[in-house]
Amino acid sequence: MDCLNEQFSQIYDQYIDKIYRFVYLKVDSQETAEDITSKVFIRGWEAFKKDPSGIKNQGAFLYQVARNAVVDHYRDKGRAKTVSVDASGEIADPGTNAQDMAILSADVEVVKKSIQHLKKEHQDIIIWHYLEDMPIGQIAQLIGKPEGTIRVMLHRGLKDLKSIIQES
Amino acid sequence: MEKISQKQLIEQIKQLKEIKPRREWAVLLKSQILSEEKQVAGVTAKSVGIGIMDAISLVFAQRKLAYAFTVVLFLIVGVFGFARYTVPGDLLFPIKKITEQSQAALTGQSGVQQDIVALSNRINDLAQVAKDGRTNSIPLAISEINANVSQLTKNLKDNPVSDQNTMKEISNSLKTLADVTGTDLSENQDIIDLYQTVVQSQIADLHKTTLSEDKIAILDEAKELYFLGRYFEALEKILLINQ
């Protein structure tokens, strides 16, 4: 068990920032992000201790759990996330991390807010590719789509994001 | 916002890498997830330790310091637990006395009550020492009793007690002391003084109350015994009146 603890401890250290960031950019509330990230790692740990060798790609697994947890969060709140660009700020939680506000410049803050108005899949791909430096091939595996499709989605996502920013 | 190029947009997206969770939250979550598993594993004693560790490490921030503090805590608890079974002459006996005094103070007992409880404890110590055949410790145990008796006598003189239950407790302690195997304290001046104080206090108290003719006769006998210096018998008479 101590060996499993040690292994999961390393996985935790490797992914805690990434998963938190991934979740936070979707909910825009420190408290909610911490709550959802906690659930992700608890579920991750439960799955890991049941079958440590069954999870081939821990990162992909945790991201998948995080995606589902965010969906559950919005479903629980009765705010099923609208994938339309017009969905505006209603999607995001009202709270904002004051610490992040201080760190991020005003322009980047606009980008952050605008990402939340993208389609869910576009959000995921942009975050993974540009923030987590995940190669296109890995993203394709992660969401089970061809690499070409991912490139197109990434391009459309950026285009949509640019439009949202310029409208804001 | 003015028009931005795709390259600028990507640069701004990359700046979102600055978003990070609170360190203390991340550390606590990790600790909770991993320690919770140890509890589920059923290692009860260990899990209690881990739980305490988590609480302490929250205070101390550094795990090594928290471990050191926990070890000291367990040592202190162990020492106080072990001290309960010591007798005069043992290394940890002073700790036992301190613990008893602290407990008495916390329960709000009066000075006389504290002395009675302490005397009872010291008599038990003497009985234990005599039972175990630890002849070297007997003088120390008697010395502890003398000190307690002396303190109790002084307190009774300063604060006369009218409560009959208290007097009965003292009387019982004195009887137990007389019964302790292998110890003869009938010539002990501190104990004689205690008997005298108790009897004197009781006679003075009985003079203030209205008694039947039978009880007045018993009181007269008690006074006679008192003047003859037979305090133990005088006390027994007084207890008859109070029944």
Q: Domain residue spans in chain A? A: 1-82+92-103, 105-168
Identity of the residue numbered A111: V
Average pLDDT score over chain B: 77
What are A's interface residues with B at a Cβ cutoff of 8 A? 1, 5, 8-9, 12-13, 16-17, 20-21, 24-25, 30, 33-34, 37-38, 41-42, 45, 49, 97, 99-100, 103-105, 107-108, 110-112, 115, 126, 130-131, 158, 161-162, 165-166, 168
Q: Exposed (0-12), middle (13-18) or buried (19+): which is B191, by Cβ within 10 Å?
A: buried
Q: Which range is least confidently modeled, A16-30, A48-62, B53-67, B137-151?
A: B53-67
CA distance A28 to A74: 13
Q: Give the separation between CA B166 and CA B155, rounded to whole angstroms.
A: 13
Does the interface ipTM go beyond 0.90?
Answer: no
Residue among A108, A126, A166 minimizing CB distance to B15 = A108
CATH fold of A105-168:
Arc Repressor Mutant, subunit A (1.10.10)
Give the predicted TM-score (pTM) of the model. 0.47
Q: Which two tokens stand for residue A7?
A: 């292994």
Q: Is 50 exceeded by the pLDDT of residue A88?
A: no
Nearest to residue A88, comparing CAs of A49, A125, A70, A114?
A114
Q: Which long-range contacts (CB under 8 A, 24 or more apart) does B57-60 make?
A: B57/B31, B58/B28
- Percent share of chain B, pLDDT over 70: 82
Please measure the distance between the N-terminal and C-terminal CA atoms of chain B and give it in whole angstroms: 99
**Rounded Cα–Cα distance for residues A26 and A68 (Å):** 12
pLDDT at A151: 93
> Cβ contact (<8 Å) for B25 and A34?
yes
**Greater model confidence, A91 or B134:** B134
> Distance of CA A26 to CAs A12, A37, A102, B54, Å?
20, 12, 19, 31
**Most confident range, picked from A78-92, A126-140, B28-42:** A126-140
Can you tell me the distance from the alpha carbon of B75 to that of B135, in angstroms, rounded to the nearest whole number?
30
pLDDT at A49 over 60: yes
Asked: is A1-82+92-103 a CATH 3.30.310 domain? The reply is no
Contact residues for B216 (Cβ-Cβ < 8 A; gap 6+): none
